[in-house]
Amino acid sequence: MYARRLLSKAERSDFLQYITFQLCFYDVFSSFKMSFAIDGQVFTIDIGRPEELDEVIELLRIHFFATSPNCYLVSDWSGASDSNGMSNYLSSCLRHPVSLTVRDSAGRLVAVRLNELEEPEDVHLDSLTSQSKRRLITALLTDLEAGIDLFTTFNTNKILSLAMMTVDESYCKLGLATTLVGLSLELGKANGAGAVKVCAVSRHAAKVAAKHGLETLRTIDYATYEFEGATPLAHLDDLLAEHPVAAFLACRLT
């Protein structure tokens, strides 16, 4: 087994510059499939496609929805049912030319960065909403953004939304998450986005976004957050110790 190490800032910068240069020679709505190596481990990065939905769902089920804080926010989604619209939402992300996948040398999906391109007339979060009730995650994400008009603030008609990201725990600490966010910003710019935003429900997600210049516009304290007349997260000591707040971050894409 190869020893793991964090990809250095210089290495990430060189890799992003290389990928960005390659994008100049590809239609941004098609595959560009690029391979790279970290400590002898070969990975292939590509634009996500709708036909990969089942693999993406399985990766998220194991390494995203089963981990804190997501297991508390989306605890009723197992990946087997589409009743709450989550699968429709994931499929929608994969139809945008700004979502990314990473595969190892065996072709196994090991990381995904799901993104969306939003325009003023879009109805955000609609596909996440359950027909039976307003779900906790939908309420939280809606409250994080409420009253903040990024289209006016950044004078743009298209915004890159960083939706979900996960990396197989076997490949953590290699810098894949940071690399995928950086490349997502480049794809967003190539597709006409003038700003980027993220609703970061974990401390790690907020930290990675901040590394790329996104600024915190609002935070919500999990301990005091009210949902349907209760504070459902107030008693979760392990959650509050690791992820005390959700944060809404954004910045201009230049």
pLDDT tens digits, residue range 51-65?
999 999 999 999 998
Strands lying side by side in the sheet with 195-200 = 34-38, 41-47, 100-103, 109-118, 159-167, 195-200, 245-252, 215-221
Report the alpha-carbon distance of residue 194 to residue 155 in Å, rounded: 8
Mean predicted confidence (pLDDT) in 91-113: 93
- Residue listed under structure tokens 């945008």: 96
Contact 117, 160 (CB under 8 A): yes
Judge if pTM exceeds 0.75: yes
User: Which pLDDT tens digit goes with each residue over 191-215?
Assistant: 999 999 999 999 999 999 999 999 9
Contact 194, 159 (CB under 8 A): yes
User: What is the chain's length?
Assistant: 254
Instruction: Please determine, for residue 254, whether its predicted confidence score (pLDDT) is greater than 50.
Output: yes
| Radius of gyration of the CA atoms of the chain, in A | 18
How sure is the predictor about 150, in pLDDT bands with cuts at 50, 70 and 90?
very high
25 or 100: whose pLDDT is higher?
100
Going 249 to 118 to 152 to 23, the CA torsion angle's sign is positive
How sure is the predictor about 83, in pLDDT bands with cuts at 50, 70 and 90?
very low
